[in-house]
Structure 1
Amino acid sequence: MSALRIAFQLLLYVPLMLLIGYFSSYPRFTQVPAGEALVRLSIVHGAQRLQECRERTPEELARLAPNMRAALDCPRERAPLAVELEFDGRVVYRRSVPPTGLRRDGAAAVYHRMQVPAGRHRVVARLRDRAGEGFDYTREATLDIAPGASLVIDFSVAQGGFVFKG
């Protein structure tokens, strides 16, 4: 390689490396402003069915094709999911989320992201996964959320309801 060719490559590559090095450190990026914290509510849950399964009568079974003769008739449609999130006595999120799927038989998905001042907060999360009034799952907690921290509010039936992480 000639010395001239190496010099031109250096003239091209060195500024490019400096540019990449600069933008890897500046400008500074933070997800939340100073003194704030991030709260994420993330739920994917299949609610209870709207109607109970019923046993078919012998006459109904006789009318069906042989391959369709299941003794139980279970409608697939699920109830909408009602979710409520309260911070320091104030409701900050309230939604009724329909189930997914063509027959409304899938899980309902909820995602909500918000910024709150860092510090001590009383958090109440509620969920109803059946038709009717009231809530089936409720969790209250007083949490200290550090500045720049991220609190995730998840839901798991296997873990007994709401799970606060972070």
Structure 2
Amino acid sequence: MRRVFDWLGQALLYGCFAVAIGVFSRWPVYHPLGPDMAQIKVSFMHHGARLADCRPYTAEELAKLAPNMRGAAKCERERSPVSIEVDLDGRQVVSHVSAPSGLSRDGASTLYRRLDVPAGEHRIAVRFRDDQSARGAVQQHEAVVTLAPAQVLVIDFNADKGGIVLQ
């Protein structure tokens, strides 16, 4: 008889657990965006230009290096920070400078920002600079986009696809 009560108790606890999971999977209702809202995500991971050009080793520098470490040129590792500016309908909404990652400041610069905007037509201007020595923006892109409610527009930088990409 005790064994029957053990089984019934276990079934009751599992049933309560299943009901709790069912209730909390549907309630409270989550809406990531309000009605008639869209989202713009600015996201990139990009290596900036090297801060110093490669230069040939001098004879003295080559003599100091171990034979297996001798190369034709010495290239500094540090990279330039990457800056991006995004204008939405003539108003600047993102202005950010991303420092290179890594101990030697030789890794990729990254950025991720989300902007909730009203759905509809918007004029977007993006300016991107990955070379500290360059004056002004290295890449520029302007577009007029129409965003539907709950649509997500991603602004990215992809050198293989020609630079600034809106998708």
TM-score scaled to structure 1, two decimals?
Answer: 0.87
> Residues 11 and 71 from structure 1, CA distance in 2 versus in 1: closer, same or farther, beyond 3 angstroms?
closer
TM-score scaled to structure 2, two decimals?
Answer: 0.87
> Residues 65 and 119 from structure 1, CA distance in 2 versus in 1: closer, same or farther, beyond 3 angstroms?
same
Instruction: Tell me the equivalent position of 2:139.
Output: 137
Q: Secondary structure at the match of 2:161?
A: coil
> Residues 25 and 63 from structure 1, CA distance in 2 versus in 1: closer, same or farther, beyond 3 angstroms?
closer
Instruction: Tell me the equivalent position of 2:112.
Output: 111
Instruction: Tell me the equivalent position of 1:163.
Output: 165
Instruction: Tell me the equivalent position of 1:125.
Output: 126
Q: Letter of the 1:46 partner, please give it.
A: H
Matched, 1:93 2:94: yes
Superposition RMSD in Å: 2.1
Unaligned runs of 5+ in 2: none
Q: Secondary structure at the match of 1:101?
A: coil
Q: How far apart are 1:19 and its partner, in Å?
A: 3.2
- Residues 45-124 of structure 1 mapped to structure 2, 5 A cutoff: 45-124=46-125
Deviates more, 1:17-26 or 1:49-58: 17-26
User: Contact (CA 8 Å) 1:128, 1:134: kept in 2 or not?
Assistant: yes
Give the Cα separation in 1 of the matches to 2:19 and 2:10. Answer: 14
Residues 42-85 of structure 1 show CA distances to partners (whole Å, capped at 9, x for unaligned) of: 10000110010011233432343323322201111100101111
Q: Letter of the 2:117 partner, please give it.
A: V
Percent of counterpart pairs with the same letter? Answer: 42
Unaligned runs of 5+ in 1: none
- 1:151 corresponds, among 149, 153, 162, to 153
Give the Cα separation in 2 of the matches to 1:60 and 1:21. Answer: 70
Give the Cα separation in 1 of the matches to 2:70 and 2:7. Answer: 81
Q: Letter of the 2:101 partner, please give it.
A: T
Q: Letter of the 1:162 partner, please give it.
A: I
Q: How far apart are 1:15 and its partner, in Å?
A: 4.3
Equivalent pairs, count? 165
Give the Cα separation in 2 of the matches to 1:15 and 1:82. Answer: 54
Give the Cα separation in 1 of the matches to 2:74 and 2:10. Answer: 75
